[in-house]
């Protein structure tokens, strides 16, 4: 059944918008008319075809979705938690999805849930219906739902999914929040230096030329750099764009990505943090999948796709092949040298004791705590480091300008 986005107004004149499934625009109009809503615009969202009504176009809908239709991890987590609560209360899946559609405020997510509900009504499994929307529901999400359907514990699996999604969203927010401050400082510093180089330094340079003074080396370097930036800025931008393009093309190749990811892991400060983030995500995801009944080989394949560093992903792939041949998980991780001893020792203990899921969760908790500590330390250090760097650049520029002035004053005296 098609899904429509509509706009209209109630009898009191209040504007309303929403998403509703109906056989066709005429049926939608009749359905909403019973609810006291008069349509002004209706767009068939699922087929992305033309519109019916006043001023509606599929192009406007796509433009709106581009700016406001992105589904965040928090939206998925809230939806998953609500669905788990409804199913836990004994409400059938289709009725729970109908209730979820009414509770969801996000228009795009509401449309997707409506389409999922229609596919379930047509006889498809819940997991298969979710798999038709890979941008909203990852392979991990779909496989966990599938295992929940097979085991009859879908509400329990959905609660685990909500916990996992919320934890990942919190971790992503911490990392982005840590990087936001230095990014702002860099932009501000670049703006200040640009103004000095293009506005202030040229005027001072002209003043020195008019005086015919012999300038010190540092002052000549500063003035020459300012002249080059002012006159050849287009060349600087072109070289930067070409360099970025070549780097991105190289990074997309298998060899380039492997070298770049290996370089990131060896960085002095950020390398250990990147490794900790990857290990925490590996452990948490694998634990959640195994607790939900997803087979180990399938879980390892999903985890490999979620680990963004190709070096660590290659280790996980080799471990998966070793498991297929009958070996344990801990052995390949130990031989790789990329996973710390804590990880493979705890995994080995979990395999021997039959508590692998709990041990993986403990590893994830330990590395989450280390990540929090590292991020807090970086946050406290970044501010003074950035201030010192900006102060050094500005101090060099001020020193370069004052030096010839002091020399001329000495000569005059």
Tens digits of residue pLDDT in 193-243: 778 777 777 777 777 777 766 777 777 787 788 778 778 878 888 999 999
Domains of the chain: 3-68 (no CATH), 73-166 (1.20.81.30), 168-413 (1.20.81.30)
Q: What is the pLDDT of residue 254?
A: 87
User: What is the pLDDT averaged over residues 278-283?
Assistant: 88
Q: What is the pLDDT of residue 53?
A: 41
- Label residue 45 by pLDDT band (50, 70, 90): low
pLDDT of 323 over the 90 cut: no
Q: What is the pLDDT of residue 245?
A: 94
Residues in the chain, overall count: 413
What does the block give as tokens for 16?
């309303």
The terminus-to-terminus CA distance of the chain in angstroms comes to 91
| 37-44: strand order across its sheet | 15-21, 3-10, 37-44, 51-53
What does the block give as tokens for 325?
């041949």
- Label residue 56 by pLDDT band (50, 70, 90): very low
- Label residue 250 by pLDDT band (50, 70, 90): very high
Cα–Cα distance, 248 to 242 (Å, whole number): 10
Instruction: List, in order, residues 6 or more apart from 366 with CB less than 8 Å away.
Output: 342
Average pLDDT, the chain: 80
On the 0-12 / 13-18 / 19+ scale of CB atoms within 10 A, 332 is buried
pLDDT of 64 over the 80 cut: no
pTM of this prediction?
0.64
Among 125-134, 209-218, 270-279, 396-405, the range scoring the smallest mean pLDDT is 209-218
Q: Residues 175-190: pLDDT tens digits? A: 777 777 777 878 887 8
Residue 231: HSE in the Cβ half-sphere, 13 Å Cα cutoff: 7
3-state SS, residue 281: helix
Q: What is the pLDDT of residue 50?
A: 37
User: What is the pLDDT averaged over residues 46-72?
Assistant: 47
Are 274 and 265 in contact, with CB atoms under 8 Å apart? yes
């Amino acid at each position: 059944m098609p899904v429509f986005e509509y706009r209209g107004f109630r009898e009191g004149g209040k504007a309303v918008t929403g998403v509703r499934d109906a056989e066709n625009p005429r049926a939608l109009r009749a359905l909403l008319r019973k609810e006291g809503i008069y349509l002004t615009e209706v767009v068939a969202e699922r087929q992305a075809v033309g519109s019916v009504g006043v001023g509606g176009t599929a192009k406007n809908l796509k433009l709106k979705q581009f700016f406001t239709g992105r589904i965040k991890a928090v939206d998925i987590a809230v939806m998953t938690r609500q669905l788990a609560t409804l199913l836990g209360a004994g409400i059938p899946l289709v009725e729970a999805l109908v209730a979820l559609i009414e509770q969801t405020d996000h228009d795009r997510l509401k449309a997707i849930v409506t389409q999922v509900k229609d596919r379930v009504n047509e006889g498809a499994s819940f997991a298969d219906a979710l798999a038709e929307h890979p941008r909203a529901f990852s392979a991990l999400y779909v496989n966990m739902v599938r295992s929940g359907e097979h085991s009859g514990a879908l509400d329990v699996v959905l609660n685990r999914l909500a916990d996992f999604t919320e934890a990942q969203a919190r971790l992503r927010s911490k990392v982005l929040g840590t990087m936001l401050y230095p990014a702002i400082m860099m932009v501000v510093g670049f703006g200040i230096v640009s103004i000095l180089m293009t506005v202030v330094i040229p005027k001072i340079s002209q003043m020195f030329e008019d005086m015919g003074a012999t300038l010190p080396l540092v002052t000549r370097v500063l003035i020459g750099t300012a002249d080059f930036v002012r006159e050849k800025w287009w060349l600087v931008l072109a070289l930067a764009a070409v360099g970025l393009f070549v780097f991105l093309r190289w990074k997309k190749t298998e060899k380039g990505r492997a070298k770049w990811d290996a370089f990131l892991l060896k960085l002095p400060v950020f390398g250990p943090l990147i490794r900790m983030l990857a290990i925490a995500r590996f452990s948490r995801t694998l634990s959640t999948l195994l607790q939900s009944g997803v087979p180990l080989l399938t879980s390892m394949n999903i985890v490999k796709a979620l680990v963004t560093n190709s070096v660590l992903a290659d280790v996980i792939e080799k471990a998966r092949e070793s498991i297929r041949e009958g070996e344990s998980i801990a052995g390949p991780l130990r031989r790789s040298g990329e996973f710390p001893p804590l990880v493979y020792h705890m995994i080995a203990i979990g395999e021997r004791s039959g508590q692998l899921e709990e041990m993986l969760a403990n590893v994830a908790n330990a590395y989450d705590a280390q990540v929090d500590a590292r991020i807090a330390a970086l946050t406290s250090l970044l501010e003074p480091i950035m201030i010192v760097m900006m102060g050094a650049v500005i101090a060099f520029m001020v020193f370069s300008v004052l030096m010839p002035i002091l020399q001329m004053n000495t000569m005059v005296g």
